[in-house]
Each structure stands twice: as structure tokens, then as C-alpha cells.
Structure 1
């Protein structure tokens, strides 16, 4: 699937996976795509910072009463930071990662690389599928990933953007994802 991704979109997707791992998660969800986009894509004009998105993600997890996978693993003596120090040096290299769909279960998409395998949640898979379908002959871009996030108005990323005061309709129109009627 990565064959159609621009280097920028590939880096963003891998970064989203690494952020998931850094948060102690066992799957890649759409909120990590938003955090990765906030770090790498010029979302500054939206006043969306990685710090603000990260704080919203932590607030959502705390509101649900989840300590997160990192805290659960720490409770049984597993130090994720130590595990990461022992991982191969190419952990951040986008070319060392691949995004694959299962042949037997086509709804299963996995991001695999030096840090391990991360299945995509249904909402994260939708982000990727919308991005691939909206990408042009130049390939899938970070802007296409943003379109994928905006495609499902009920996902966590859209909720985070709303709480941060982003005009979602204006954002969608600005990236050509929403055509205003005449």
C-alpha cells in the first residue's frame, strides 16, 4: 500500500505508528494520525500544535479511566523505554516499514517495521483508505491523510479538532475536500 504514498505521507504514517508505540498502544488509531500530522504537516495555520493534540489525547484516555497500555505494562514490570533502546537503529526509517492488507482478511491492515507490527483500527484503516482514494497521480500526501481524518465526523480526531476550536467545514473546504454549493 505504501507504493502510492509520497515520502511525506509515508513518514507521517510511520510517525503515527511510532507515537502509538510510545503511548504504549498495541494498535494504530486515528488520533495518532492527527498527532503525527500536527508534528509534521503545516497545521500551524489551524493553531493546532502537537502539544495541544497530545494533551487532548491524554485527557480522553483519562476520562475513559484508562491508564493506557504503557501503565499496564509497567505494572507487570515491563519498561517500554528500555525495550525501545534495544530496538534496531532503523526504527524511524520510513523505508524500513510497510503497510499491508491481509489476503485472507482484507479488512485487516498492518503497519510493520523494525519496531514491530501494529494493526490499524477500523477508523485508522478508513483514514488510509480515504487518503488512497483521494490521492492523485502524484501519490498520497499528508493532505490526503487529513482528508481521511475528516471523512468520519464521529472519530476521535474530529472531536479533538472541534475541542481545539478548528472550523472543520472551513478546513475541509480549504483542502478541497468539501465543495460548497453555488
Structure 2
């Protein structure tokens, strides 16, 4: 499934998976995907004004840095020493279960993490049209389902959602 993703969109999805694994989350969720998009920025959208720091304030990452620091462990240094090559897209894959087609899992050198229902829907919306899955299309998937919380996080970060939807070229419902 990752073969259809552009390099930058693939890096964003992998970053979201890494965030989920680091946070000890049971699944990759849309808020982590939004944070990864804010960090990687696989697009050049003027109306995507939110920063990674803005999104990080809204997302619970279960940060263990403070706890480990009290033990004299620098988590950033541990990651630098142990994670060489783990973000290489060639070492990651996205699979759909044959027995349960609603189960999509991201597998990589750091572990495997299933996509939560709303995150799976993001990927399915991004893959809906033929062609490459871009960062903009991942953003479409996030914005297509208001119940996933991404719109709330973006709005809290000062993003004009209407302008963002328009700039991405996202298909919208037509009114008479």
C-alpha cells in the first residue's frame, strides 16, 4: 500500500507510526497523523498555518523524557544511538489483513502498529482517487471526517479550515 505514497507522504505516515510506538499507543490515531504532517510538511499550503508545536500541545504523547531524566537517561541520546536507519521508508510497509479487511497495520523496524478506525479512513480517503497519495490527500482524509478531531486541533491552532479545504482542492458537497 505504501508504494502509492509520495516520498514525503510516506515519511509523514512513518513518522506518525513512530510517534504512536513511542507513546505506547495501541493504535495510530488521526491526531498523531496530523502532528506528523505538521512536522514533515509534505506540502506547501499557505493556509496550513499551524506549527508542530501547536499540534503537540493538543496531542497526548505520554512523554517519558522527564521520568527518564530523573534516572539520568537522555531519551534523545538513546534514540540517536539506537534508531539509525529506522526511518528509512524501504524498511516500512502498510498492510491490510486478508481475514479482516478493516484492519490496516503499519510495520517497521520499531514494531507494528494498527491504524485506528479514523486513521484507516484517512488513508482510504487519500487512496480513493487513482494516482499518488500526497500530503495534500492525507490532509483531505483528515478533514473529510470532522469526528476524528483533526479539525478541532487545526482550529485551535488558528487555521482557517474553509481556506485550507479550498486550497487543497478537496472535493466538497455542492449546495443548490
TM normalised by structure 1 equals 0.80
Instruction: Count how many residue pairs are aligned between Structure 1 and Structure 2.
Output: 168
Corresponding residue of 1:52: 54
The answer for unaligned runs of 5 or more in structure 2 is: none
Is the CA contact (8 Å cut-off) linking 2:45 and 2:167 kept in structure 1?
no
User: How much does 1:34 deviate?
Assistant: 0.5
Equivalent positions of 1:115-134 (< 5 A) are 115-134=110-129
Corresponding residue of 1:64: none
User: How much does 1:46 deviate?
Assistant: 2.8
Residues 60-111 of structure 1: CA deviation (Å, up to 9, x unaligned): x8xxxxxx4969xx8xxxx9x4985785632111110000000000000000
Equivalent positions of 1:33-44 (< 5 A) are 33-41=33-41, 42=44
Higher relative contact order (CA 8 A, sep 6+): 2
- 2:101 is paired with a residue whose SS is coil
Name the CA distance, whole Å, in 2 between partners of 1:19 and 1:43. 23
Name the CA distance, whole Å, in 1 between partners of 2:29 and 2:54. 18
Is the CA contact (8 Å cut-off) linking 1:28 and 1:119 kept in structure 2?
yes
- Compared CA separation, residues 98 and 18, structure 1 to 2 (3 A): same
User: How much does 1:181 deviate?
Assistant: 5.8
Residues 47-66 of structure 1: CA deviation (Å, up to 9, x unaligned): 200000000113xx8xxxxx
User: How much does 1:131 deviate?
Assistant: 0.4
Aligned pair partner of 2:167 in 139, 153, 174: 174
Return the structure number with greater helix share.
1
1:102 correspondence with 2:104:
no
Does 155-164 or 118-127 show the bigger shift?
155-164
1:145 correspondence with 2:138:
yes
Is the CA contact (8 Å cut-off) linking 1:25 and 1:70 kept in structure 2?
no
The answer for unaligned runs of 5 or more in structure 1 is: 62-67
- The CA RMSD over aligned residues, in Å, is 2.7
TM normalised by structure 2 equals 0.82
Name the CA distance, whole Å, in 2 between partners of 1:46 and 1:8. 16
Equivalent positions of 1:4-43 (< 5 A) are 4-41=4-41, 42=44
